[in-house]
Amino acid sequence: MLRQDPVLYDAQLENCPYGAAAARQFDAQGFYFLPELFSAEEVAVLNREMQRIRTDKALRQREELVTEPGSEDCVRTVFDIHLFSTAFGAVANDSRILDFVRFILKDDLYLHQTRLNYKPGFRGREFYWHSDFETWHVEDGMP
């Protein structure tokens, strides 16, 4: 079946914030890799924030935080992390990402769902490959 919708909604490749070559690659391959988008310090800030959220006992009361089945210690998932973490909120609003996505869609954006999954080594249940759309569509009303 041939694709009905365009990959890039902005046909003006020169409007791409990372250049026309990036737009062509995304159009052809469906992705564009930015290997050094975040600096080492920015990544370190996010790693520290992940550690803080995982170990902060006061956060265990938040409904967005889910622990492993049968455990009150081992954090499995944090939903809506951008709403209560300044560091992840900054990533969610980073123009280095948003400008490219706005170019691709030629439209404004919003976050419907965010989450952070922890997978501690040798602990907790597995995360098999899956698609979240069905769950988010039915349970959260994602269009």
- The pLDDT tens digits for 38-97 are 999 999 999 999 999 999 989 888 999 988 888 877 888 999 999 989 999 999 999 999
Mean pLDDT, residues 113-142 taken together = 73
- CA of 39: how far to CAs of 34, 44, 51, 114, 136, in Å? 11, 9, 19, 22, 32
Mean pLDDT, residues 96-121 taken together = 88
For residue 142, is pLDDT > 70? no
142's tokens: 């994602």
Assess whether 47 and 24 both reside in one domain.
Answer: no
Assess whether 6 and 67 both reside in one domain.
Answer: no
Spatial separation of the C-alpha atoms in residues 66 and 53, rounded to whole Å: 12
The tally of domains found in the chain comes to 2
Assess whether 22 and 64 both reside in one domain.
Answer: no
Instruction: Look up tokens 């976050």; give the residue.
Output: 111
Assess whether 29 and 44 both reside in one domain.
Answer: no
Tell me what pLDDT residue 112 has. 82
Pairwise pLDDT comparison (121 vs 64), residue with the higher score: 64
Long-range contacts of 130-136 (CB under 8 A, 24+ apart): 136/112
21's tokens: 């070559």
CA atoms within 13 A on the CB side of 68: 15
Assess whether 4 and 53 both reside in one domain.
Answer: no
Assess whether 26 and 79 both reside in one domain.
Answer: no
Assess whether 27 and 52 both reside in one domain.
Answer: no
- Residue 143: band (very low, low, confident or very high) from pLDDT cuts 50, 70, 90: low
Query: Does residue 108 contact residue 79 with C-beta atoms inside 8 Å?
Result: no
**Domain with 11 in it:** 1-33
Lowest mean pLDDT among 17-31, 57-71, 75-89, 112-126: 112-126
- Three-state DSSP at 35 gives coil
